[in-house]
Amino acid sequence: MARKISFSKALNEAMIQEMERDENVFILGEDVAKMGGDFGITSGIWDRWPNRAFDTALSESAITGLSCGASVCGLRPVAELMFADFITVCYDQLVNNAAKLNYMYQGEASAQMVVRAVTGGGIRCAYHHSQCIEPWLMNIPGLVIVAPATPYEAKGLLVASIRNNNPVVFLEHKHLYNIKGEVPEELYEIPLYEAHVEREGTDITIVAAMSMLKFAQKAADEMAAKGISVEIVNPRTIFPLDKETIKESVAKTGRLIVVQEGPKVMGYGAEIGAMLGEELFEYLKAPIKRVTSLDTPVPFAPGMEDYVLPHYEDVITACNEVMAY
């Protein structure tokens, strides 16, 4: 049996092992070198490679701009944004430069860079540190958005992201950092662009990523006790989506619930729902349901934050609603 380590340790191990394997890999960001990052994810790297771990100025635009330029020169930067919300500060560098390079130069130049970004709510970080930002980026061809849900995925997907020749926004939900799971010591990749069927079922498909996966798993257990079989699909890569795996699942079950933490309007649940409405309408036995947060900024007050974010009970309600048809 593989040893169990935390989500954060799995990320740290992925970077260390990739830096051992490839001298072109380096890290940069605010306090990522000597301090080891605001969440400790890059701890110990500067001690081993002081010339490949760089503390930067308080400038997300500079971090992503430097990463883009270094990529063109053949390096593989792994940049950290302290919070994903700050991606707005470097939006131009990311979407108008990095995302377009491969296309503009027909593959002769590309931005093979990873932007690690801490995402999500639930720990009382308030309005500017708690958002789910993937919808802001899903309309940008050339970007890849990766969203691990377990320590095993954290390591394998980060390794694959570092080796990928496209700019990758690697989302790390802060609620997951301390969870533990089985992770092999050896270096391994989990392929990007491929969803994973976490649990097979016949009555309902639930698509859930990152911290929402635990809601789906708990709901599947509760519904199983009632004789209802739930299939769970974990996208792993949110953009580009593995549409075929989702379509195959819904064609089998005829019912879909998408659980996403962010607001409902224009989230990836909306994209999945639109896709299935266009391509799989005749298979649907019930309306598609989305379980999301409310369309409001994430509050600081604990009671209000809990009210705004989606709950496990919301998933159960959605399951009961789709089974009523």
The amino acid occupying position 63 is I
Angle among Cα 105, 109, 112 to the nearest 5 degrees reads 130
Catalytic residue among 129, 173, 175, 311: 129
- Which of 148, 196, 188 is closest to 41 using CA atoms? 148
Supply 59's token pair: 């400038």
Cα-based distances in Å from 267 to 1, 55, 137: 38, 33, 10
- Which of 261, 207, 40, 234 is closest to 150 using CA atoms? 234
Distance in angstroms (rounded) separating the CA atoms of residues 224 and 201: 10
- Which of 61, 56, 65, 58 is closest to 98 using CA atoms? 65
Let me know: does 62 contact 86? Beta carbons within 8 Å.
no
Q: Give how far the C-alpha of residue 276 lies from the chain's centroid of Cα atoms, to the nearest Å.
A: 22
Cα-based distances in Å from 200 to 197, 214, 232, 312: 7, 15, 7, 20
User: Residue 119: beta bridge partners?
Assistant: 173
Residue 210: CB atoms within 10 Å: 27
- The answer to whether residue 129 is catalytic is yes
Distance in angstroms (rounded) separating the CA atoms of residues 73 and 109: 9
* Active site (catalytic) residues: 129
